[in-house]
Amino acid sequence: MPPYHTLLTNARILDGTGNPWFYGDLAIQDDTIAQIAPPNSLPAAHRTIDLEGRYLSPGFIDIHTHSDLSILVNRRAESAVRQGATTHVIGNCGMSPAPIDDAHLPLMKDYWGLISEQPEVNWDWRSFGEYLQALEDGGTAINLAALVGHAALRITTMGMDDRAPTAKEMGKMEHLLGESMGAGAFGLSTGLVYPPGCYATTEEIIALCRVVAQHNGIYATHIRGERETILDAVAEAIHIGAQAGLPVQISHNAPKYGAPQPASANLRLVEEARARGQDVTVDNDVHTDLGPALFEGLPQELHERPMDEIASLLRDPQSRQRIKEEIIRDQKPAFGPVGLLKHAQWHCITLLHAPNTPQYLGQTLAAIAQQREQADPFDTYFDLIIANGHQAAAIFDYIDPTDIRTLLQHPAVMICSDGEALAPYGFLNDPPPYAPCSYGEFPGVLERYVRDDPVLTLEGAIRKMTSFPASRLGLFNRKGQIRGLLRPSAQADLVVFDLDRIHDRATNLYPHTYPFENYPHQYPEGIDYVFVNGELVVENGEHTGLLPGHVLRHGRLRCPS
């Protein structure tokens, strides 16, 4: 028997099923696992790595990311592989960069913002298949599985119009969606709080989901409100799945501040649907915060205006008052963090980035208001926007940690980052985004919710990061083996970690101290080796520069390579 190319010995093997770990050796040949055997029972390999009792698990499968364009800017997927993620699902929250046509390309670029102007993002693709090909052509360090974004279908068909599609437009969206599914998309995603997704009726989504159902895809949704209206929004998602006859994935489904009931209430709706025989599952990330720009809390219709225009509106006492009232009325529910403004939770908003008012960094808006002797912190909020424009950003702590624990422990909930592949250098770090989930999601779960405060067993946590998302999506290798499990002939996507040393260096827990402990972010500690399709991408915590990832295509057992 020829020697294997790599042999990992003395591992504590977590096979991804949730079963207790066991000691063993694992041999890799080409891109698959050749054998799993008792310790010291396999012949020597070209390369043998003694893991000395460290854990060996399937690579983490991140079912909810926004790496669609960032992976083009940096194909090494630094922040993903350093935290043990070997597969990213992209195209979430209604956002995918394809399909698109020439006429609507400028709108699509606006939609994606600054990243769309990066030289690596050349917009050479139009169809979804061409986009997947563009990902594949340059190589990537991680595997990618893509969803079609509902917003892309709408932008390509009817721009950003706030109206229902005509019958002809509906036919065009269905056609584009069917073509994208045929090219290998895993399903359709929606973002029903963002334009243009928020303009769609339930019926529009059901009609599109019927096309996805014909291709055995899934429906993944950022639901139509995660605060006051969250239960109606979960019910809508379940209704869409029932009507169209397809599995539903409710994305990052923690209630945000302002929700009437704890997470157990949404989960009850999911349980009831499952009891009726409907396949509904949920993903969530474990961070309580988000770090948007301050102006993103303003009413949506202002977002596109030039900043000097926004500033002069905010300087005028009458329009300032009107804007404040509009935020509180929240009639077209704004995205999650705005709940903190609406309900005056100023002590939960911590200033992160504000080049023109550095004296206030690290303080909450409540504290800044007090220092400035402003009775209404709305005035403080508006003044910080006037002073810093688009550059003012804050950490909004808008999720209850108790809900995160409830969600983590629920059998229908898997773990996602809701982040994107970033890097602490180049465009993706300029200025450093507050993105703890992009760097520290999986290590953070292992550190805080498995080791330090065991909300989950180690085996249970690994299952929610590996085989559970893989089976949800139907991620198979060319031998017909499901990913996310350690089995002979399964794909060799692997992570080696040291649970004692594991440390997330990107997350700042609330209440925040200043200077921030973990901002700007750093790579986590304790993720020692990461293999993608049998090749070593992270070695002793450093990136090897290899790009062995595959673009996975739904409905095809065969990988392209």
Residues that bind Zn ion (CB under 5 A): 93, 222
Nearer to Zn ion, 330 or 420 (CB): 420
Are 34 and 488 spatial neighbours (Cβ–Cβ below 8 Å)?
A: yes
Nearer to Zn ion, 303 or 558 (CB): 303
Nearer to Zn ion, 75 or 224 (CB): 224
Nearest to residue 499, comparing CAs of 450, 557, 555? Answer: 450
Shortest Å distance, C-beta 405 to Zn ion = 21
Q: What one-character DSSP code corresponds to residue 490?
A: S
Shortest Å distance, C-beta 92 to Zn ion = 6
Residue 242 parent element (H or E)? helix 230-244
Two tokens, residue 334: 């704004």
Nearer to Zn ion, 7 or 153 (CB): 153
| Alpha-carbon separation of residue 524 from 58, 81, 465, 499 (angstroms) | 18, 10, 17, 12
Two tokens, residue 533: 């399709």
Nearest to residue 129, comparing CAs of 539, 561, 558, 553? Answer: 553
Two tokens, residue 4: 């294997």
For residue 27, the tally of other CB atoms under 10 A from its CB is: 23
Are 464 and 415 spatial neighbours (Cβ–Cβ below 8 Å)?
A: yes
Mutual orientation of helices 401-409 and 263-275 as an angle, nearest 10°? Answer: 20
**Cα–Cα distance for residue pair 265/250, rounded to 1 Å:** 14
Two tokens, residue 184: 């290998």
Are 469 and 484 spatial neighbours (Cβ–Cβ below 8 Å)?
A: yes
Two tokens, residue 72: 């083009």
**Cα–Cα distance for residue pair 434/438, rounded to 1 Å:** 9
Are 144 and 65 spatial neighbours (Cβ–Cβ below 8 Å)?
A: no
Shortest Å distance, C-beta 191 to Zn ion = 6
Nearer to Zn ion, 93 or 527 (CB): 93
Nearer to Zn ion, 335 or 449 (CB): 335
Shortest Å distance, C-beta 24 to Zn ion = 39
Nearest to residue 388, comparing CAs of 355, 366, 351, 432? Answer: 355
Are 259 and 267 spatial neighbours (Cβ–Cβ below 8 Å)?
A: no
Residue 462 DSSP SS3: helix
Shortest Å distance, C-beta 171 to Zn ion = 28
Nearer to Zn ion, 72 or 95 (CB): 95
**Cα–Cα distance for residue pair 246/487, rounded to 1 Å:** 29
Nearer to Zn ion, 289 or 535 (CB): 289
Nearer to Zn ion, 88 or 222 (CB): 222
Shortest Å distance, C-beta 205 to Zn ion = 15
Shortest Å distance, C-beta 523 to Zn ion = 25
Nearest to residue 319, comparing CAs of 299, 333, 335? Answer: 299
Give me the torsion for CA of 266, 268, 271, 273, rounded to 10°: -70
Q: How many CA atoms lie within 13 A of 513 on its CB side?
A: 2
Shortest Å distance, C-beta 93 to Zn ion = 3
Nearer to Zn ion, 24 or 292 (CB): 292
Shortest Å distance, C-beta 197 to Zn ion = 10
Residues with Cβ within 8 Å of 126's Cβ and at least 6 positions away in sequence, in order, are: 98, 99, 100, 101, 102
Nearer to Zn ion, 472 or 483 (CB): 472
Shortest Å distance, C-beta 146 to Zn ion = 16
Shortest Å distance, C-beta 222 to Zn ion = 3
